[in-house]
Protein backbone atom coordinates (compact mmCIF):
# COMPACT_ATOMS: atom_id res chain seq x y z
CA UNK A 1 0.00 0.00 0.00
CA UNK A 2 2.77 2.47 0.87
CA UNK A 3 3.86 3.30 -2.73
CA UNK A 4 0.26 3.95 -3.71
CA UNK A 5 -0.29 6.23 -0.77
CA UNK A 6 2.95 8.05 -1.49
CA UNK A 7 1.68 8.86 -5.00
CA UNK A 8 -1.59 10.07 -3.52
CA UNK A 9 0.14 12.24 -0.90
CA UNK A 10 2.39 13.85 -3.55
CA UNK A 11 -0.67 14.64 -5.67
CA UNK A 12 -2.40 16.27 -2.67
CA UNK A 13 0.64 18.52 -2.22
CA UNK A 14 0.67 19.34 -5.94
CA UNK A 15 -3.02 20.27 -5.92
CA UNK A 16 -2.97 22.16 -2.64
CA UNK A 17 -3.42 25.64 -4.15
CA UNK A 18 -6.45 24.50 -6.15
CA UNK A 19 -7.91 22.94 -2.97
CA UNK A 20 -7.61 26.30 -1.24
CA UNK A 21 -9.35 27.93 -4.22
CA UNK A 22 -12.17 25.40 -3.86
CA UNK A 23 -12.54 26.38 -0.19
CA UNK A 24 -12.42 30.09 -1.13
CA UNK A 25 -15.37 29.61 -3.51
CA UNK A 26 -17.34 27.70 -0.87
CA UNK A 27 -16.72 30.24 1.93
CA UNK A 28 -17.89 33.03 -0.42
CA UNK A 29 -21.41 31.52 -0.40
CA UNK A 30 -23.05 32.68 2.88
CA UNK A 31 -25.08 29.51 3.44
CA UNK A 32 -26.47 30.44 6.86
CA UNK A 33 -29.25 27.96 7.67
CA UNK A 34 -30.63 29.86 10.68
CA UNK A 35 -31.41 32.97 8.62
CA UNK A 36 -34.50 32.53 6.42
CA UNK A 37 -33.34 35.35 4.13
CA UNK A 38 -30.14 33.45 3.37
CA UNK A 39 -31.99 30.32 2.19
CA UNK A 40 -31.22 31.03 -1.53
CA UNK A 41 -27.51 31.04 -0.58
CA UNK A 42 -27.86 27.72 1.21
CA UNK A 43 -29.40 26.33 -1.99
CA UNK A 44 -26.59 27.95 -4.03
CA UNK A 45 -24.06 26.13 -1.84
CA UNK A 46 -25.82 22.83 -2.56
CA UNK A 47 -25.54 23.61 -6.29
CA UNK A 48 -21.84 24.34 -5.88
CA UNK A 49 -21.33 20.91 -4.32
CA UNK A 50 -23.36 19.22 -7.04
CA UNK A 51 -21.24 20.80 -9.78
CA UNK A 52 -17.93 20.01 -8.02
CA UNK A 53 -18.96 16.39 -7.48
CA UNK A 54 -20.19 16.01 -11.06
CA UNK A 55 -16.89 17.41 -12.33
CA UNK A 56 -15.15 14.65 -10.38
CA UNK A 57 -17.29 12.05 -12.13
CA UNK A 58 -19.59 11.18 -9.22
CA UNK A 59 -23.23 10.28 -9.67
CA UNK A 60 -25.03 13.13 -7.85
CA UNK A 61 -28.63 13.81 -6.86
CA UNK A 62 -30.11 16.85 -5.16
CA UNK A 63 -33.01 15.61 -3.03
CA UNK A 64 -35.73 18.01 -1.83
CA UNK A 65 -36.87 17.80 1.81
CA UNK A 66 -40.11 19.78 1.47
CA UNK A 67 -41.26 22.76 3.50
CA UNK A 68 -39.56 23.76 6.75
CA UNK A 69 -41.87 22.92 9.70
CA UNK A 70 -43.24 26.01 11.44
CA UNK A 71 -42.34 28.35 8.56
CA UNK A 72 -44.68 29.62 5.89
CA UNK A 73 -43.61 28.77 2.33
CA UNK A 74 -39.96 28.23 3.23
CA UNK A 75 -38.39 25.15 1.64
CA UNK A 76 -35.69 23.20 3.42
CA UNK A 77 -32.44 23.12 1.43
CA UNK A 78 -31.87 19.89 -0.50
CA UNK A 79 -29.75 16.97 0.65
CA UNK A 80 -26.92 16.35 -1.80
CA UNK A 81 -26.38 12.61 -2.18
CA UNK A 82 -23.62 11.19 -4.33
CA UNK A 83 -22.00 7.90 -5.27
CA UNK A 84 -18.40 7.42 -6.39
CA UNK A 85 -17.65 3.82 -7.35
CA UNK A 86 -20.09 0.94 -7.24
CA UNK A 87 -17.98 -2.20 -7.32
CA UNK A 88 -19.53 -5.28 -5.69
CA UNK A 89 -15.98 -6.37 -4.73
CA UNK A 90 -15.38 -3.32 -2.58
CA UNK A 91 -16.62 -2.20 0.82
CA UNK A 92 -18.83 0.89 0.80
CA UNK A 93 -18.27 3.91 3.04
CA UNK A 94 -20.99 6.48 3.64
CA UNK A 95 -19.72 10.03 4.25
CA UNK A 96 -21.78 12.70 5.96
CA UNK A 97 -21.08 16.42 6.25
CA UNK A 98 -22.95 19.72 6.18
CA UNK A 99 -22.70 22.67 3.83
CA UNK A 100 -24.61 25.20 5.94
CA UNK A 101 -22.87 27.52 8.40
CA UNK A 102 -23.52 29.52 11.55
CA UNK A 103 -24.49 33.19 11.15
CA UNK A 104 -21.61 35.70 10.89
CA UNK A 105 -21.25 39.42 10.35
CA UNK A 106 -18.26 41.77 10.35
CA UNK A 107 -20.08 43.75 13.06
CA UNK A 108 -19.84 40.74 15.42
CA UNK A 109 -16.14 41.56 15.73
CA UNK A 110 -14.55 39.63 12.86
CA UNK A 111 -11.13 40.98 11.87
CA UNK A 112 -11.85 40.17 8.20
CA UNK A 113 -14.99 39.72 6.09
CA UNK A 114 -16.40 36.35 7.26
CA UNK A 115 -17.38 35.32 3.73
CA UNK A 116 -14.02 36.09 2.12
CA UNK A 117 -11.41 33.42 2.77
CA UNK A 118 -8.41 35.32 4.11
CA UNK A 119 -5.13 33.47 4.44
CA UNK A 120 -2.48 35.02 6.72
CA UNK A 121 1.30 34.56 6.73
CA UNK A 122 1.01 31.60 9.12
CA UNK A 123 -1.35 29.77 6.77
CA UNK A 124 -4.43 30.39 8.92
CA UNK A 125 -7.43 30.46 6.57
CA UNK A 126 -10.13 32.65 8.09
CA UNK A 127 -13.75 32.46 6.98
CA UNK A 128 -17.15 31.25 8.19
CA UNK A 129 -17.48 27.53 7.51
CA UNK A 130 -13.74 27.08 6.85
CA UNK A 131 -13.54 24.43 9.59
CA UNK A 132 -17.28 23.85 10.26
CA UNK A 133 -17.88 22.12 7.95
CA UNK A 134 -16.96 23.27 4.44
CA UNK A 135 -13.22 22.51 4.81
CA UNK A 136 -13.75 18.89 5.91
CA UNK A 137 -16.52 18.30 3.31
CA UNK A 138 -14.22 19.61 0.58
CA UNK A 139 -11.44 17.47 2.08
CA UNK A 140 -13.37 14.41 0.86
CA UNK A 141 -13.76 15.94 -2.62
CA UNK A 142 -10.06 16.82 -2.64
CA UNK A 143 -9.23 13.22 -1.73
CA UNK A 144 -11.25 11.94 -4.70
CA UNK A 145 -9.59 14.42 -7.07
CA UNK A 146 -6.05 13.64 -5.89
CA UNK A 147 -6.66 9.89 -6.30
CA UNK A 148 -7.98 10.45 -9.82
CA UNK A 149 -5.13 12.69 -10.89
CA UNK A 150 -2.47 10.45 -9.30
CA UNK A 151 -3.98 7.43 -11.06
CA UNK A 152 -4.50 5.69 -7.69
CA UNK A 153 -7.67 3.64 -7.38
CA UNK A 154 -9.90 4.33 -4.37
CA UNK A 155 -10.25 0.88 -2.82
CA UNK A 156 -13.76 1.45 -1.40
CA UNK A 157 -17.01 2.69 -2.90
CA UNK A 158 -18.12 6.06 -1.57
CA UNK A 159 -21.62 7.22 -0.79
CA UNK A 160 -22.12 10.81 0.30
CA UNK A 161 -24.81 12.67 2.20
CA UNK A 162 -24.29 16.44 2.55
CA UNK A 163 -27.04 18.43 4.25
CA UNK A 164 -27.82 22.12 4.57
CA UNK A 165 -29.62 22.38 7.94
CA UNK A 166 -27.17 20.91 10.46
CA UNK A 167 -26.63 24.17 12.29
CA UNK A 168 -30.38 24.35 12.76
CA UNK A 169 -30.83 20.89 14.24
CA UNK A 170 -30.78 18.91 10.95
CA UNK A 171 -34.45 19.62 10.30
CA UNK A 172 -36.04 16.95 8.12
CA UNK A 173 -33.00 14.68 7.83
CA UNK A 174 -33.87 11.83 10.22
CA UNK A 175 -36.77 10.57 8.09
CA UNK A 176 -34.67 10.91 4.95
CA UNK A 177 -31.80 8.81 6.39
CA UNK A 178 -34.17 6.17 7.74
CA UNK A 179 -35.84 5.84 4.33
CA UNK A 180 -32.59 5.77 2.33
CA UNK A 181 -30.96 3.17 4.62
CA UNK A 182 -33.75 0.68 3.88
CA UNK A 183 -33.51 -1.92 1.08
CA UNK A 184 -33.59 -0.12 -2.28
CA UNK A 185 -32.51 3.19 -0.69
CA UNK A 186 -29.44 5.24 -1.63
CA UNK A 187 -27.54 4.27 1.55
CA UNK A 188 -28.55 0.60 1.50
CA UNK A 189 -25.05 -0.69 0.69
CA UNK A 190 -23.18 1.29 3.36
CA UNK A 191 -20.77 -0.88 5.39
CA UNK A 192 -19.59 1.97 7.63
CA UNK A 193 -20.25 5.67 8.15
CA UNK A 194 -17.64 8.41 8.62
CA UNK A 195 -18.22 12.03 9.64
CA UNK A 196 -15.56 14.74 9.64
CA UNK A 197 -17.20 17.59 11.57
CA UNK A 198 -15.45 18.07 14.90
CA UNK A 199 -12.03 19.04 16.23
CA UNK A 200 -8.79 17.78 17.70
CA UNK A 201 -8.15 18.39 21.37
CA UNK A 202 -5.05 20.47 20.64
CA UNK A 203 -3.31 21.72 17.53
CA UNK A 204 -0.94 18.94 16.48
CA UNK A 205 -2.30 15.54 17.53
CA UNK A 206 -5.27 14.06 15.66
CA UNK A 207 -8.05 12.20 17.42
CA UNK A 208 -10.79 9.72 16.69
CA UNK A 209 -14.07 10.59 18.34
CA UNK A 210 -16.56 8.10 19.75
CA UNK A 211 -19.11 10.28 21.55
CA UNK A 212 -21.11 13.49 21.19
CA UNK A 213 -23.41 15.43 23.45
CA UNK A 214 -26.97 16.12 22.30
CA UNK A 215 -28.55 19.56 22.16
CA UNK A 216 -32.05 20.70 23.17
CA UNK A 217 -32.51 24.32 22.10
CA UNK A 218 -35.23 26.48 23.71
CA UNK A 219 -36.82 29.87 23.28
CA UNK A 220 -38.54 31.72 26.13
CA UNK A 221 -40.75 34.58 25.09
CA UNK A 222 -42.04 37.23 27.51
CA UNK A 223 -44.47 39.91 26.36
CA UNK A 224 -46.39 42.72 28.00
CA UNK A 225 -47.03 46.17 26.43
CA UNK A 226 -48.64 46.37 22.99
CA UNK A 227 -45.57 48.14 21.57
CA UNK A 228 -42.08 49.33 22.60
CA UNK A 229 -42.32 52.26 25.06
CA UNK A 230 -40.36 55.41 26.02
CA UNK A 231 -38.63 54.55 29.30
CA UNK A 232 -38.90 58.13 30.53
CA UNK A 233 -42.62 58.34 29.93
CA UNK A 234 -43.54 54.86 31.13
CA UNK A 235 -40.58 53.48 33.15
CA UNK A 236 -41.75 52.62 36.68
CA UNK A 237 -45.39 52.45 35.71
CA UNK A 238 -45.27 49.22 33.64
CA UNK A 239 -43.91 45.75 34.30
CA UNK A 240 -41.06 45.24 31.87
CA UNK A 241 -40.67 41.98 29.87
CA UNK A 242 -36.89 42.40 29.64
CA UNK A 243 -36.53 42.64 33.44
CA UNK A 244 -38.59 39.47 33.85
CA UNK A 245 -36.62 37.67 31.17
CA UNK A 246 -33.16 38.37 32.60
CA UNK A 247 -34.41 37.31 36.02
CA UNK A 248 -35.73 33.94 34.81
CA UNK A 249 -32.71 33.34 32.58
CA UNK A 250 -30.51 34.13 35.58
CA UNK A 251 -31.98 31.21 37.55
CA UNK A 252 -31.04 28.54 34.99
CA UNK A 253 -27.36 28.02 35.73
CA UNK A 254 -24.71 29.31 38.15
CA UNK A 255 -21.31 30.87 37.44
CA UNK A 256 -19.59 27.49 37.58
CA UNK A 257 -21.98 25.94 35.09
CA UNK A 258 -24.15 24.03 37.58
CA UNK A 259 -27.59 23.59 36.07
CA UNK A 260 -30.25 24.69 38.59
CA UNK A 261 -33.25 22.94 37.01
CA UNK A 262 -34.27 20.15 39.43
CA UNK A 263 -34.07 16.64 37.95
CA UNK A 264 -31.57 17.38 35.14
CA UNK A 265 -28.34 16.38 36.87
CA UNK A 266 -30.03 13.31 38.40
CA UNK A 267 -30.46 11.80 34.89
CA UNK A 268 -26.69 11.67 34.23
CA UNK A 269 -24.96 8.26 34.44
CA UNK A 270 -22.36 8.22 37.24
CA UNK A 271 -18.64 8.10 36.38
CA UNK A 272 -17.09 4.64 36.79
CA UNK A 273 -13.49 3.96 37.85
CA UNK A 274 -12.83 2.53 34.36
CA UNK A 275 -14.04 5.69 32.72
CA UNK A 276 -11.99 7.88 35.08
CA UNK A 277 -8.82 6.03 34.09
CA UNK A 278 -9.37 6.86 30.38
CA UNK A 279 -8.76 10.55 30.95
CA UNK A 280 -5.22 10.13 32.28
CA UNK A 281 -3.88 8.97 28.88
CA UNK A 282 -5.33 11.84 26.87
CA UNK A 283 -2.79 14.42 25.69
CA UNK A 284 -4.40 17.58 26.94
CA UNK A 285 -3.28 20.38 29.22
CA UNK A 286 -4.98 23.38 30.74
CA UNK A 287 -2.91 25.50 28.34
CA UNK A 288 -4.71 23.79 25.45
CA UNK A 289 -7.97 25.01 26.96
CA UNK A 290 -6.67 28.53 27.53
CA UNK A 291 -5.34 28.68 23.96
CA UNK A 292 -8.70 27.59 22.54
CA UNK A 293 -10.83 29.97 24.61
CA UNK A 294 -8.39 32.89 24.51
CA UNK A 295 -8.46 33.45 28.29
CA UNK A 296 -7.87 31.70 31.63
CA UNK A 297 -11.52 31.77 32.68
CA UNK A 298 -12.05 28.00 32.88
CA UNK A 299 -14.23 26.58 35.66
CA UNK A 300 -11.76 23.84 36.70
CA UNK A 301 -8.01 23.88 37.15
CA UNK A 302 -7.35 20.28 36.08
CA UNK A 303 -7.72 18.44 32.77
CA UNK A 304 -9.89 15.55 34.03
CA UNK A 305 -12.69 17.76 35.34
CA UNK A 306 -12.40 20.08 32.35
CA UNK A 307 -12.75 17.25 29.83
CA UNK A 308 -15.56 15.61 31.79
CA UNK A 309 -17.41 18.93 31.91
CA UNK A 310 -17.12 19.18 28.13
CA UNK A 311 -17.85 15.57 27.21
CA UNK A 312 -19.81 13.62 29.78
CA UNK A 313 -21.79 16.14 31.85
CA UNK A 314 -24.62 18.33 30.61
CA UNK A 315 -24.22 22.08 30.26
CA UNK A 316 -26.63 24.96 29.84
CA UNK A 317 -25.72 28.04 27.80
CA UNK A 318 -27.68 31.25 27.36
CA UNK A 319 -27.15 32.39 23.77
CA UNK A 320 -29.00 35.61 23.20
CA UNK A 321 -32.13 37.72 23.35
CA UNK A 322 -34.25 38.61 20.33
CA UNK A 323 -36.12 41.91 20.28
CA UNK A 324 -33.70 43.96 22.35
CA UNK A 325 -31.57 47.01 21.74
CA UNK A 326 -28.07 45.76 20.99
CA UNK A 327 -26.37 48.52 18.98
CA UNK A 328 -23.64 50.79 20.33
CA UNK A 329 -24.91 53.97 21.97
CA UNK A 330 -27.77 54.52 24.40
CA UNK A 331 -31.40 54.01 23.44
CA UNK A 332 -34.04 54.59 26.13
CA UNK A 333 -36.61 52.03 25.14
CA UNK A 334 -38.69 49.46 27.02
CA UNK A 335 -38.94 46.43 24.68
CA UNK A 336 -42.51 45.12 24.46
CA UNK A 337 -41.60 41.52 23.69
CA UNK A 338 -38.32 39.73 24.21
CA UNK A 339 -37.30 36.19 23.35
CA UNK A 340 -34.44 34.53 25.23
CA UNK A 341 -32.56 31.62 23.65
CA UNK A 342 -30.77 28.92 25.60
CA UNK A 343 -29.75 25.32 25.08
CA UNK A 344 -28.87 22.28 27.13
CA UNK A 345 -26.16 19.90 25.95
CA UNK A 346 -27.41 16.44 26.89
CA UNK A 347 -25.49 13.27 27.81
CA UNK A 348 -26.17 9.62 28.66
CA UNK A 349 -28.83 8.77 30.01
CA UNK A 350 -30.81 11.99 29.62
CA UNK A 351 -34.12 11.55 27.82
CA UNK A 352 -34.85 14.48 25.54
CA UNK A 353 -38.64 14.60 26.25
CA UNK A 354 -38.11 14.46 30.00
CA UNK A 355 -35.57 17.27 29.78
CA UNK A 356 -38.18 19.37 27.92
CA UNK A 357 -40.84 18.78 30.55
CA UNK A 358 -38.45 19.71 33.38
CA UNK A 359 -37.41 22.88 31.53
CA UNK A 360 -41.00 23.98 30.78
CA UNK A 361 -42.13 23.43 34.38
CA UNK A 362 -39.09 25.14 35.88
CA UNK A 363 -39.41 28.24 33.69
CA UNK A 364 -43.10 28.59 34.48
CA UNK A 365 -42.49 28.12 38.24
CA UNK A 366 -39.65 30.67 38.27
CA UNK A 367 -41.75 33.14 36.30
CA UNK A 368 -44.69 32.66 38.70
CA UNK A 369 -42.36 33.58 41.61
CA UNK A 370 -41.85 37.03 40.02
CA UNK A 371 -45.55 37.91 40.40
CA UNK A 372 -45.52 39.54 36.96
CA UNK A 373 -48.57 40.44 34.89
CA UNK A 374 -46.61 39.78 31.69
CA UNK A 375 -47.02 36.50 29.81
CA UNK A 376 -44.44 33.79 29.22
CA UNK A 377 -44.21 30.99 26.69
CA UNK A 378 -41.41 28.44 26.46
CA UNK A 379 -40.78 26.33 23.37
CA UNK A 380 -38.34 23.71 22.17
CA UNK A 381 -36.83 25.00 18.90
CA UNK A 382 -34.95 21.83 18.00
CA UNK A 383 -33.41 18.79 19.62
CA UNK A 384 -30.68 16.31 18.68
CA UNK A 385 -29.60 13.21 20.60
CA UNK A 386 -26.32 12.39 22.32
CA UNK A 387 -24.31 9.46 20.95
CA UNK A 388 -21.62 7.19 22.39
CA UNK A 389 -20.10 4.13 20.70
CA UNK A 390 -17.20 1.72 21.17
CA UNK A 391 -13.96 2.94 19.54
CA UNK A 392 -12.72 -0.59 18.87
CA UNK A 393 -14.14 -1.72 15.53
CA UNK A 394 -12.53 -2.08 12.06
CA UNK A 395 -13.29 1.47 11.01
CA UNK A 396 -11.63 2.98 14.10
CA UNK A 397 -8.67 0.61 13.58
CA UNK A 398 -8.36 1.78 9.97
CA UNK A 399 -8.54 5.44 10.97
CA UNK A 400 -5.94 4.90 13.71
CA UNK A 401 -3.56 3.38 11.14
CA UNK A 402 -4.19 6.28 8.76
CA UNK A 403 -3.36 8.80 11.52
CA UNK A 404 -0.11 6.96 12.25
CA UNK A 405 0.80 6.92 8.56
CA UNK A 406 0.14 10.61 7.94
CA UNK A 407 1.10 12.15 11.30
CA UNK A 408 3.42 9.55 12.84
CA UNK A 409 1.47 9.42 16.14
CA UNK A 410 -1.31 7.31 17.64
CA UNK A 411 -4.54 9.33 17.81
CA UNK A 412 -6.24 10.32 21.04
CA UNK A 413 -9.63 8.70 21.56
CA UNK A 414 -12.02 11.49 22.46
CA UNK A 415 -15.60 12.43 23.03
CA UNK A 416 -16.90 15.80 21.88
CA UNK A 417 -19.03 18.38 23.62
CA UNK A 418 -20.75 19.55 20.44
CA UNK A 419 -23.63 17.83 18.69
CA UNK A 420 -24.14 16.29 15.28
CA UNK A 421 -27.80 15.41 15.53
CA UNK A 422 -27.89 12.72 12.84
CA UNK A 423 -25.00 10.59 14.12
CA UNK A 424 -27.24 8.33 16.17
CA UNK A 425 -29.75 8.24 13.32
CA UNK A 426 -27.07 6.94 10.93
CA UNK A 427 -25.98 4.32 13.45
CA UNK A 428 -29.51 3.09 14.11
CA UNK A 429 -30.70 3.27 10.49
CA UNK A 430 -27.68 1.51 8.93
CA UNK A 431 -26.77 -0.71 11.90
CA UNK A 432 -23.11 0.00 10.99
CA UNK A 433 -20.09 1.55 12.65
CA UNK A 434 -20.04 5.35 12.79
CA UNK A 435 -16.67 7.08 13.19
CA UNK A 436 -15.94 10.77 13.70
CA UNK A 437 -12.66 11.67 12.00
CA UNK A 438 -11.89 15.37 12.48
CA UNK A 439 -9.22 17.38 10.68
CA UNK A 440 -9.66 20.79 12.37
CA UNK A 441 -7.77 21.95 15.48
CA UNK A 442 -8.87 23.17 18.90
CA UNK A 443 -8.02 26.76 17.96
CA UNK A 444 -10.34 26.92 14.92
CA UNK A 445 -13.06 28.95 16.71
CA UNK A 446 -16.01 27.21 15.09
CA UNK A 447 -19.27 29.17 15.65
CA UNK A 448 -17.23 32.10 16.92
CA UNK A 449 -15.75 35.20 15.31
CA UNK A 450 -12.59 34.63 13.23
CA UNK A 451 -13.34 30.98 12.50
CA UNK A 452 -10.41 29.46 10.62
CA UNK A 453 -8.86 26.28 9.35
CA UNK A 454 -5.09 26.04 9.12
CA UNK A 455 -3.74 25.27 5.67
CA UNK A 456 -1.68 22.49 7.29
CA UNK A 457 -4.80 20.85 8.75
CA UNK A 458 -6.68 21.15 5.45
CA UNK A 459 -3.91 19.61 3.34
CA UNK A 460 -2.65 16.98 5.82
CA UNK A 461 -6.31 16.36 6.70
CA UNK A 462 -7.04 15.63 3.03
CA UNK A 463 -4.18 13.11 3.13
CA UNK A 464 -5.66 11.56 6.28
CA UNK A 465 -9.15 11.19 4.79
CA UNK A 466 -7.70 9.56 1.66
CA UNK A 467 -5.35 7.25 3.60
CA UNK A 468 -8.26 6.13 5.80
CA UNK A 469 -10.04 4.81 2.68
CA UNK A 470 -7.09 2.50 1.96
CA UNK A 471 -6.80 1.15 5.51
CA UNK A 472 -10.57 0.76 5.63
CA UNK A 473 -10.42 -1.49 2.58
CA UNK A 474 -7.65 -3.54 4.27
CA UNK A 475 -9.43 -3.81 7.60
CA UNK A 476 -12.65 -4.59 5.74
CA UNK A 477 -11.05 -7.74 4.30
CA UNK A 478 -10.32 -8.96 7.83
CA UNK A 479 -13.67 -7.94 9.37
N1 LIG B 1 -19.80 20.82 14.07
C2 LIG B 1 -20.98 20.34 14.66
C3 LIG B 1 -21.82 21.46 15.19
O4 LIG B 1 -21.36 22.58 15.26
N5 LIG B 1 -23.05 21.17 15.53
C6 LIG B 1 -23.95 22.13 16.07
C7 LIG B 1 -25.29 21.54 15.80
C8 LIG B 1 -26.45 22.11 16.54
C9 LIG B 1 -27.04 23.29 16.37
N10 LIG B 1 -28.05 23.31 17.23
C11 LIG B 1 -28.07 22.19 17.86
N12 LIG B 1 -27.09 21.45 17.44
C13 LIG B 1 -23.67 22.35 17.55
O14 LIG B 1 -24.01 23.46 18.03
O15 LIG B 1 -23.11 21.48 18.22
ZN1 LIG C 1 -20.46 21.18 11.98
ZN1 LIG D 1 -21.39 23.91 13.79
pLDDT for 146-165, tens place per residue? 999 999 999 999 999 999 99
Contacts of 231 (CB under 8 A, 6+ apart): 332, 333, 334
Atom of ligand 1 nearest to the CA of 419: 15
pLDDT score, position 1: 67
Determine the distance separating the centroid of ligand 1 and the alpha carbon of 214, expressed in angstroms: 9
Atom of ligand 1 nearest to the CA of 213: 15
Q: pLDDT tens digit string along 22-79? A: 999 999 999 999 999 999 999 999 999 999 999 999 999 999 999 999 898 999 999 9
pLDDT score, position 418: 95
pLDDT score, position 2: 65
| Residues above pLDDT 90, as percent of the chain | 95
**Nearest ligand to the C-alpha atom of residue 420:** 1
- Residue 206, pLDDT > 90, answer yes
Architecture of the domain whose range is 214-268+313-384: 2-Layer Sandwich (3.30)
Determine the distance separating the centroid of ligand 3 and the alpha carbon of 101, expressed in angstroms: 7
Q: pLDDT tens digit string along 298-353? A: 999 999 999 999 999 999 999 999 999 998 899 999 999 999 999 999 999 999 99
- Residue 267, pLDDT > 70, answer yes
CATH 3.30.70.360 domain position(s) in the chain? 214-268+313-384
Q: What is the ipTM of this complex?
A: 0.96
166 carries an active-site annotation: yes
- In the structure, which protein residues have their CB atom closer than 6 angstroms to any atom of ligand 1? 132-133, 166-167, 169, 197-198, 215, 217, 384, 418-421, 446
Determine the distance separating the centroid of ligand 3 and the alpha carbon of 198, expressed in angstroms: 8
Q: Give the integer Cα–Cα distance in Å for 196 and 423.
A: 11
Determine the distance separating the centroid of ligand 1 and the alpha carbon of 32, expressed in angstroms: 13
Q: pLDDT tens digit string along 211-230? A: 999 999 999 999 999 999 99
pLDDT score, position 356: 98
Q: Give the integer Cα–Cα distance in Å for 251 and 141.
A: 47
Q: Which of 52, 100, 132, 171 is catalytic?
A: 100
- Enter the pTM of the model: 0.93
| Residues above pLDDT 70, as percent of the chain | 99
Q: pLDDT tens digit string along 377-402? A: 999 999 999 999 999 999 999 999 99
**Nearest ligand to the C-alpha atom of residue 170:** 1
pLDDT score, position 281: 86
404 carries an active-site annotation: no
User: Which of 277 and 308 is assigned the larger pLDDT?
Assistant: 308
pLDDT score, position 171: 87
How far CA 366 is from CA of 315, 343, 476, in Å, comes to 19, 17, 55
Distance from chain centroid for Cα 38: 19
The domain defined by 6-212+387-478 carries CATH number 3.40.630.10: yes
CA 271, 275, 276: angle at the middle one, nearest 5?
80
Q: Name the residue among 433, 434, 455 with its Cα closest to residue 135.
A: 455
Atom of ligand 1 nearest to the CA of 102: 4
CATH 3.40.630.10 domain position(s) in the chain? 6-212+387-478
Q: Which of 41, 52, 166, 416 is catalytic?
A: 166
Atom of ligand 1 nearest to the CA of 446: 4
Residue-averaged pLDDT of the chain: 97
- Residue 479, pLDDT > 80, answer no
Amino acid sequence: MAPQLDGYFKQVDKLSESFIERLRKAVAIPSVSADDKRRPDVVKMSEFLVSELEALGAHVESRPLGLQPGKKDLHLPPVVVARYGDSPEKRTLLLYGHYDVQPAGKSDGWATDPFTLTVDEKGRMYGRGSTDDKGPVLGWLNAIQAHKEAGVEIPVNLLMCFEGMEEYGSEGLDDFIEKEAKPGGFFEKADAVCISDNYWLGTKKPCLTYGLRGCNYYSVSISGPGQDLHSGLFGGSVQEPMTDLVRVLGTLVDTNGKIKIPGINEMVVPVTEDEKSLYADISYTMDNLYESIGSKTGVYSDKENTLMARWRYPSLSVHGIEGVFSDPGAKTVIPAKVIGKFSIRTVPDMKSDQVDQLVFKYMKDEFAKLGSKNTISVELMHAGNWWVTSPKDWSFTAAGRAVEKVFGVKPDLTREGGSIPVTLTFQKATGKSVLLLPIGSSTDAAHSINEKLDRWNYIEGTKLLGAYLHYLAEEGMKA
